[in-house]
Amino acid sequence: MTIAPRAQSQISRRWLSPMKTALYTAAYIVAFGLIWELIWLVARPPDYLLPPLHSVIAYLFSQWEVLLRHAYVTAYETLLGFIAAVVVGIAGAFVLNAFPRLAPVLWPSVLFAQLTPKVAIAPLLLLWLGFGIESKVLIAFLIAFFPILINAYAGYGSIDHEAAELASSMGVRRLTYFARFQFPHALPRIFAGARIAINFAIVGAVVAEFVGSDRGLGNLVIRATRLLNTPLLFSAIIVLMGMGALFYFSVGVVERWMIPWHVSHRRALQGNGTAGFRLQDT
């Protein structure tokens, strides 16, 4: 059995779609940069308020080693917090769904934790945990946790009634039912939450670096603001934007790899048609 040429074309389009989105995003960035340069040429503001884009880009390339070193710290904190949020969020949603009587007891605690402003408690967490990486990861986790939890819980609870009855009639055990039915069914919602959570995790890491840190892009932003070093400030912001875009599109690529059967990807492949691979005998 081999995959027909049409199926090969569908596979290529499936993986090229994120690249097309990235190209559109790059086009918007170029347009924004041209507008920035035009505004600077017309208004000629002081460099400490708005430097020209070409000087910012030149500064970025001249200081790329420093920016990369600090970006690594922020990215490491972000990914640790995000991964912890995904694991705990999926597990927490499973507990809430598996034990309905326990959910009314746990939901108020979850909502209270979500409603508490993370920026306000960041100094307290730094005081408790110190200025090491632990406090940054915890704040990134707290901000990214809720989108994963709420989307996973909604995904577990939205499985078809017929599928649940079929599993019950077959005598499927709870964990098997979760692994074979609930979790695959909830994956589209989980990835929708992950797209939001990954950028929230960056915000959490940067906020923690604002409050107290000697490393990371958040620290560079604060340092550049105090010194009125606007090229450094904009360079750090550009790196943060690039990091956010990279993480966001990476989640999309993983989503397409794990759930290529989802209706959103089938529509992207075939427009209004019905997805499917044609196989032919060799």
Instruction: Give tens-digit pLDDT for 153-183.
Output: 988 887 776 766 766 677 677 777 777 778 8
- The string of DSSP codes covering 142-153 is HHHHHHHHHHHH
What pLDDT is stored for residue 25 in this prediction?
78
* Secondary structure of 183-243 in HEC code, one letter for each residue: HHHHHHHHHHHHHHHHHHHHHHHHHHHHHCCCCCHHHHHHHHHHHCCHHHHHHHHHHHHHH
**Mean local confidence (pLDDT), 33-43:** 87
pTM of the model: 0.80
Domain ranges of the chain: 51-263
What band does 133 get if pLDDT is binned at 50, 70 and 90? confident
Residue 47 neighbours by CB under 8 Å, 6+ apart: 55, 230, 231
Angle value at C-alpha 16, between 12 and 21, nearest 5 degrees: 160
Q: What are phi and psi of 181, to 5 degrees?
A: -115, -60
d(CA 29, CA 132): 35
Judged against a pLDDT cut of 70, whether residue 4 lies above it is answered with no
CATH fold of the domain at 51-263: MetI-like fold (1.10.3720)
